[in-house]
């Protein structure tokens, strides 16, 4: 699993999330003019993630989205009620990370989970 965070020349943050064994890659473009509101363009191989954005929209208060406690905020609240049970899925965390960077609430740095005990 890996999040790749990049700010591009069009002044937006782009992230590609590889969640691991399911191979349902998600790409995110986050745009914010003021650091207070963020618009997310999300394309995912996961039907459930795509459906989430159809239902809840794509524009969010940056502080409600990014500064919530782990497992809280609009994406996780929707996920708790509507997504299939898979607590280890890193996609929502990667989407939030893109918004954080775009709104200057975090610095861009790739994140990853690495198995070190030989099981891959």
β-strand partners of 26: 17, 44
pLDDT score at 1: 55
pLDDT score at 85: 76
pLDDT score at 5: 58
Question: What is the pTM assigned to this prediction?
Answer: 0.89
Q: Which of 59, 57, 53 is nearest to 27 (CA)?
A: 53
Residue ranges of domains in the chain: 2-106
User: pLDDT by residue for the chain (120 residues), tens digit each?
Assistant: 555 555 554 589 999 999 999 999 999 999 999 999 999 999 999 999 999 999 999 999 999 999 999 999 999 999 999 998 788 899 999 999 999 999 999 999 999 998 898 665
pLDDT score at 81: 94
**Alpha-carbon distance 9 to 79, whole Å?**
32
């Amino acid at each position: 699993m890996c999040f790749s965070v990049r700010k591009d020349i069009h002044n937006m943050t782009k992230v590609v999330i590889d969640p691991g064994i399911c191979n349902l890659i998600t790409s995110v473009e986050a745009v914010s003019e003021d650091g207070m509101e963020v618009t997310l363009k999300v394309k995912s191989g996961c039907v459930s993630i795509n459906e989430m954005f159809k239902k809840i929209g794509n524009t969010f208060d940056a502080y409600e989205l990014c500064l919530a406690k782990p497992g809280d905020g609009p994406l996780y609240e929707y996920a708790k009620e509507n997504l299939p049970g898979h607590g280890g899925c890193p996609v929502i965390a990667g989407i939030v990370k893109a918004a954080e960077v775009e709104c200057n609430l975090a610095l861009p740095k790739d994140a990853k989970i690495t198995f070190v005990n030989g099981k891959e």
